[in-house]
Structure 1
Amino acid sequence: MSLAPVVSLHNPAAVRQMATRLNGTDFARWAARTRALGGCVQPIRLRGRVDHIDALTGDLLHRYSTDVEPGGVLRVACKTRRASRCPSCAETYRADTYQLVRAGLVGGKGVPESVAAPPAAFVTLTAPSFGPVHTRRQKNGRVVPCHPRRNAGTCPHGRALSCTLRHDENDPHLGQPLCPDCYDYTGSALFNALAPELWRRFTMALRRRIARTAGLTLAELRDVATVSFAKVAEYQRRGVVHFHAVVRLDGPDGPSSSPPPWAAFDVLAHAVDHAARTVSVPTPTAPDLPSRSLTWGTQVDVRPITTDGGLSDQAVAGYIAKYATKAAECAGTLDRRIHPSDDLAALPITDHARRLIAECLRLGGLEELAELRLAEWAHMLGFRGHFSTKSRRYSTTLSALRQARTDHNQHQREITTGRLPFEDDDQVLTVAHWRYAGRGLSPGDALLTAALTGTPLPPLITDRRDAA
């Protein structure tokens, strides 16, 4: 959920700004740059120059300055992964994540095709229950009542412990507790904060279990097999994260080597299930906050990934990439940081999210829990880990994919405008001077960006240094 205003054609100021831009002498250059950014709606604006200097003589060979750009600024893509911030850049991130995950299943992008041979599993690890919430349940393709419990009675706060409604997919009650006063907000916040550590312990337990099944020590396992993975975090509507992951059992040198004969899917699935059900992480202790042990939820899903039928590599890569661009907005919170001085009652968030944020801020004020940084990550409901991660040998990297795209764009620029005569000269120094000049678009520029690139009109994101 964003606090930014929505761009609209009914805004007279936006229409005037759009007309001014269209009639400007630099519109062609502005439009070309807008198309090159792919429709980024919160571009970073920079002022400065780049000097190319002869290292032997000190002569200035060439200078680029943002003075030649519209408004005297160079706009560069924000490159955010959040779809709520910038749909265009988030789509690029989603596509890169898709290619990264799929390359680890079928090869490509520098990964050998032999990677498709080792057993691979699609794993879902959920969070435990912190209290009953409204949910959309289906059975045999039909939506069934939420929590149909006969003679359920009421909780100590007088609220019914059952719900017979058949919730619609967009029902705002989904994910909300049946009784907010009974819900374990402390446990929810602590689970999100410690989920990365729980995942780390899971991967360690997974390797230990595989080694034990094969009758090996961990050191001996490294000589014959490697566990590779790529994972993404997803927020459930109740405000806690769970993880989707591709787990693959390779040979000792990763995807370029074959796993041992005993490395079958059943071995991998057994190890995943065992590790998920046995690992735990203790919470820090504080006055009036006894330590507890956090574990994964009871729902652990392990399914084989195939290249022909069943759960395909394309479906898995698309599923993981989809969640790589999302955050906690589905739980009714914000996509920006919240400070202790903010008035929570005035924020446009759900009551459930407000309670979760308030609990993060409260726990974040405890000295014993300072390392969890709960107050700093209250807008993420306590989760501060990376949304998408992978092991070193799983496949290519996002950096490699971005560099390939940069090289391609550079090649296209050279075809269009040619190369500077000294660009390949090792004796030429490149000295850049940049300073931040703001972020975002004016309402009029946002309308023109949508028209030029065909992207939807997103919330307008600006800062105090934004210029018209």
Structure 2
Amino acid sequence: MLDRAARLRQLSEVDQDLIRLVQDPRFGRWLEQVSSTGGCAHPIQLSGSTTTRDAGTGEVLHHYDTATEPGERLLIRCRNRRATVCAPCSRIHAGDTFHLVPARLGGGKSVPADVRERPRLFLTLTAPSFGPVHRTTADGQRCRPRRHADRCEHGRSPGCPAAHDATDPLVGQPLCSGCYDYPAHVLWHAYAGRLWKAFTDNLYHHLAARTGHTRSGLRRTVRISYAKVAEYQKRAAVHVHAVIRLDGAHGPDTPPPPWATAEVLATVVRTAAAAVRLHTPHSRALGEHELRWGAQLDARPLRAFGGREGLADDAVAAYVAKYVTKGAADASAGLDHPITGPNDIAAARLSAHVRALMRTCWRLGGLPELEPLRLRAWAHSLGYRGQILTKSRAYSTTYGALRAERADHERAAPDYADEPHAITHAHWRYIGSGHTPGAALIAAGIAEDQAQNREIARAEISRSGRADGTA
């Protein structure tokens, strides 16, 4: 807690920086740059120039140089997907995700519209139990009632008579940290990508067995495409939400055979997940661990075009977009930056459970037999080293394509890409990132104003739709 004098000094620093900014003759141009980034909280600062010439005549068709910009630098978005790091950029990422997911669900972005009629599931796979944890309860129910139960070897009761709501900090914490299998938790995270690969391989195998095809014959008939997002549960274990679709042999452009239905797919995903078994390399300190998916599995069909049964495409897209930007925003996900040693773990403002997982990563990362897992490099994410959102090759478009399309739309300078004799020379270098205290305050205000404008526009569109009877 800062004392009064320190707070006054801090306020004075912000005020002085604000005065400096607004008195700068180029303040208007600086404000334009900040507004163009959407009020990005940690913009990248670049210095350099771009020159486009006619190769035949040497005529300069276009020239831009940051020498004329405020501070001789250009601000661009940081593009961080985490809402806690940069809310404006996370909204851009969420919007891209929202466009990607419906594209593979209902068509668009190079995917034909008739994919809405194909077998589609929204699947949730969870991690197994590594030990009992406190859980959210409802209607006054107790967490883990135990009338007659012996205490564990650490002297703790295996029960909890309390009723926890979603805001209770105890939710997700082990009843006994000594009994909790932290090494198994960390290793499960490290192998989560291989567990998913084993699951998707099993999908083909089990689908072939159920429909009377050979494995190679099935792969010449159908293709399984997916998009999945990883989410950290309260117990700091990753579970996976995935949208799975059955296509024909050539992906979205071809329909699947008539026997391929959502009911068949729902049955197969359960048996395929239950059959996954991976074994870690033998370790003198840990022995060998068998890794599998948790018993809790949810597979729900998505609503066909014009249908009433199943989940709506837009609802699933919004759900996935939400968790893509969430990422490490939740304290149960660890930190959003790598750590350099045990001292970083001790200083982190995290629960004792999450810190114990990070310490386990650091300890196991020192074992020679586990060195390929790079657990120390991924200790900040509790050993999980996968991307938050991944997709199959037959998905649809990509984040890169969406960004390129947006950049072309927003580009202020003329585009000479189609000019056969135009040559562009660009020289850029990174010179810093972030804002000064006063600039950060202004950027936050711009971000808030733009967010409010979006909410007002969304409300107006919704109101107009209801008035027209189109919503």
Task: Report the TM-score, using the length of structure 1 for normalisation.
Answer: 0.89
Q: How does 1:14-33 map to 2 (within 5 A)?
A: 14-33=14-33
Give the match for residue 461 of structure 1.
none
Question: SS of the counterpart of 1:243?
Answer: strand
Between 1:401-410 and 1:164-173, the stretch displaced more is 401-410
Distance 1:174 1:34 in 2: 40
Q: 2:222 aligns with which of 225, 229, 239?
A: 225
Summarize the Cα distance change of 1:424–1:257 in structure 2 as closer, same or farther, 3 Å threshold: closer
The Cα offsets for residues 101-151 of structure 1, whole Å up to 9 and x where unpaired, read as 11111112222110101111111000000011111034xxx3521111221
Where does residue 35 of structure 2 map in the other structure? 35
> Secondary structure of 1:233's match?
strand
- CA contact 2:342–2:359 (8 Å) conserved in 1: no
2:331 and 2:350 in contact (8 A); partners too: no
Of 261, 264, 285 in structure 2, the residue corresponding to residue 264 of structure 1 is 261
Q: What amino acid sits opposite 2:216 in the alignment?
A: A
C-alpha separation between the residues in 1 aligned to 2:159 and 2:259?
48
CA RMSD of aligned residues (A): 2.2
Structure 1 residues 51-60 or 148-157, which shifts more? 51-60
Farther off after superposition, 323-332 or 233-242: 323-332
Aligned equivalents of 1:300 and 1:153: distance in 2? 31
- Taking the TM superposition and a 5 Å limit, the aligned residue runs for 1:360-379 are 360-379=361-380
CA distance in 2, matches of 1:455, 1:237: 33
Q: Secondary structure at the match of 2:390?
A: strand
| Offset at residue 397 of structure 1 (A) | 1.8
SS at the partner of 1:454?
helix
Q: For residue 347 of structure 1, what is the aligned residue in structure 2?
A: 348
1:433 corresponds, among 424, 427, 432, to 427
Unaligned runs of 5+ in 1: 1-6, 458-468
Q: How far 1:59 moved relative to its partner?
A: 5.9
Offset, 1:281: 1.5
Establish whether residue 170 from structure 1 lines up as the match of residue 167 from structure 2: yes
Q: Quick check: 1:31–1:452 contact (8 Å CA) kept in 2? A: no
The more displaced of 85-94 and 104-113 is 104-113
Contact 1:41 1:86 in 2 (8 A): yes
8 Å CA contact 1:17–1:444 kept in 2: the answer is yes
For the 8 Å contact 1:128–1:295, the answer to whether it is kept is: yes
Structure 2 counterpart of 1:442, one-letter code: T
> Structure 2 length as normaliser, TM-score?
0.89
In the TM superposition, what whole-angstrom CA distance separates every residue of 1:278-328 from its partner, at most 9, and x where no partner exists? 012211222212111100001011111114444111111111111111224
The one-character-per-residue Cα deviations of 1:1-30 (angstroms, maximum 9, x if unpaired) are xxxxxx999732122212221221111111
How far apart, in 2, do the equivalents of 1:64 and 1:404 lie? 21
Q: Deviations over 1:55-81 (max 9, x none)?
A: 345565543211111111111111111
Post-superposition offset of 1:341? 5.5
Structure 2: segments with no counterpart, 5+ residues: 1-6, 452-471
Cα distance in 1, alignment partners of residues 396 and 204 from structure 2: 19
Shift of 1:332: 6.3
- Partner SS state of residue 224, structure 2: strand
Q: Matches of residues 151-170 of structure 1 in structure 2 within 5 Å?
A: 151-170=148-167
Structure with the larger RCO, 1 or 2 (CA within 8 Å, 6+ apart): 1
Mapped contact 1:146–1:164 kept (Cα < 8 A): yes
Partner Cα distance (1:404, 1:160) in 2: 58
Q: Which amino acid aligns with 2:190?
A: A
CA 1:343–1:387: 2 relative to 1, 3 Å: closer
Q: Contact 1:134 / 1:147 at 8 angstroms: preserved in 2?
A: yes
Q: Give the Cα–Cα distance (whole angstroms) in 2 for the partners of residues 161 and 43 of structure 1.
A: 49
Distance 1:363 1:12, change over 3 A: same
CA deviation map 1:15-51 (0-9, x unaligned): 2212221221111111111111112111111111112
- Give the AA of the match of 1:306: R
State how far apart, in whole Å, the 1-side matches of 2:15 and 2:149 are. 58
Name which of structure 1's ranges 107-116 and 357-366 shifts more when overlaid on structure 2.
107-116
* Change over 3 Å in CA distance of 1:358–1:73 after alignment to 2: same
Measured against aligned partners, the alpha-carbon deviations of 1:150-181 in whole angstroms (never above 9, x if no partner) come to 21232111111111211121111111111111
The 1-side partners of 2:34 and 2:130 are apart by 47
Q: Which residue of 1 aligns with 2:83?
A: 83
Give aligned pairs, total. Answer: 441
Task: Please tell me whether residue 394 in structure 1 is matched to residue 395 in structure 2.
Answer: yes
Query: Relative to structure 1, is the Cα distance of residues 68 and 88 closer, same or farther in structure 2, using a 3 angstrom cutoff?
Result: same
- 1:361 deviates by 0.5
